[in-house]
Amino acid sequence: MADITVAAINDLRQRTNAGMMDCKKALIETNGDMDAAIKILREKGLAIQVKRADKESKEGIIKALASPDGKTFAMAEVNTETDFVAKTDNFKNFAEAVTSQVLAGVEDLAGAMKEALMTIVSQTGENVKIRRTARFVLSGTGEVASYIHMGGKVGVLVEVGCGKAETASNAAFSELVHDLTLQIAAAAPRFLTSEEVPAEAIETEKEIARNSDRFRGKPANIVEGALKGIVNKYFSDVCLVNQPFVKEPKQTVTDIVKACEKATGDVITIKRFVRFQLGAA
């Protein structure tokens, strides 16, 4: 049996908010397997808030820039050690320079920013990192947009396509695109559609439900029937098009897209999105 240390128990508690003894029992039961222990706690309803294992507490800023013609957008997350440095003009200017290079399509970003990175590290005395970047170029007719939330803590890029050129300049379409950036920032979808969700993720949700107290002792046909609703609820949490619209939760994102299609007389497609949250995966 694996040696269950106090550090491991505390780590599991920090990730789940479950009690110390429950965490210890789960780790003993799973022979120290952290992921399996989290799963057991979820099945027992003890994990109040499962925190992402790869979430890190880092400071910095997320920046976004657009090309003059509005057809290309870039976003970058740049990290540093303290909030104090992150708020300085010097650090903000460095982050903007990084984003400008991404916008320009520079392939060797590390090489292009090498000297500037060495300078900012020397000036701040902190470990500054270019953590991740994204660049969207409009394909066909539509719009690319960005949104920076909470002073650079959350950033979003989205591309929305339409069939007719005039739709791209329609006020209803522009409002839709803006609302989608707000939706993604606030609701943090992980996928665009349910088709993108890995089969193993769906099966994990089903297995957790099957093993929960809610269905203990229930006939298999009743359990399997209920699982459809559970999976749909899961999709409404993690898939953008299935999510309740943040401005009007009685509608879904699909509903507001259809409303815009009716207003414009056009076919509208959410093509892709990316969401950065400072310090999170």
Average pLDDT rounded to a whole number, residues 214-229: 84
Q: Please give the share of the chain, as a percent, with pLDDT higher than 90.
A: 68
244 φ/ψ angles, rounded to the nearest 5 degrees = -65, 140
The arithmetic mean of pLDDT across residues 50-62, rounded, is 61
Give the mean pLDDT of 133-142: 98
pTM recorded for the entire structure: 0.79
Window from 34-48, 132-146, 148-162 with minimum mean pLDDT: 34-48
The predicted structure's pLDDT at residue 52: 37
For the stretch 66-99, pLDDT in tens is: 999 999 999 999 999 899 999 999 999 999 999 9
Residues 247 and 281 in one domain: yes
Please check whether residue 1 lies inside any domain of the structure.
no
Task: Give the residue-averaged pLDDT of 60-65.
Answer: 98
Domain of residue 126 covers 55-137
Boundary-marking domain end, from 87, 116, 137: 137
Query: Is the per-residue pLDDT at 22 higher than 60?
Result: yes
| Other CB atoms within 10 A of residue 124 CB | 19
Does 49 fall in a domain?
no
In this structure, the answer to whether residues 119 and 254 fall within a common structural domain is no
**Residue 36: φ, ψ to 5°:** -65, -35
The answer to the question of residue 48 being in a domain is no
Same domain, 188 and 202: no
Predicted pLDDT at 211: 84
**Would you say 42 and 53 are in contact if contact means Cβ atoms under 8 Å apart?**
no
What DSSP character marks residue 140? S
Considering the domain architecture, whether residues 167 and 259 belong to the same structural domain is answered as: yes
Statement to judge: residues 146 and 192 lie in one domain:
yes
Please state the φ and ψ torsions of residue 72, each to the nearest 5 degrees: -130, 135
Q: Higher-confidence residue: 116 or 55?
A: 116
Same domain, yes or no, for 126 and 73? yes
Among residues 137, 157, 179, the one where a domain terminates is 137
Residues 243 and 232 reside in one and the same domain = no
120 and 258 share one domain = no
Give the domain CATH number at 82.
3.30.479.20
pLDDT tens-digit series, residues 237-262: 999 999 999 999 999 999 999 999 99
User: Does the residue 50 lie in any domain?
Assistant: no
Residue 264 lies in a domain: yes
Backbone phi, psi, residue 150, to 5°: 55, 40
For residue 217, being part of any structural domain is answered with yes
User: Does residue 168 fall inside a structural domain?
Assistant: yes
Same domain, 160 and 251: yes
CA angle 160-106-100, nearest 5°?
70
b (16+ CB within 10 A) / e for 227-255: beebbeebbbebbbbbbbbeeeeeebbbe
| Rg (the chain; Cα; Å) | 22
Does 56 have pLDDT greater than 50? Answer: no
Residues 16 and 98 in one domain: no
63 assigned to some structural domain: yes
One-letter amino acid of 92: K
- What is the number of structural domains in the chain? 4
pLDDT above 70 for 46: no
Of 11-15, 106-110, 136-140, the one with minimum mean pLDDT is 11-15
186 plus 267 within the same structural domain: yes
Q: Which residue, of 117, 137, 157, is where some domain finishes?
A: 137
Pair (14, 65) in one structural domain:
no
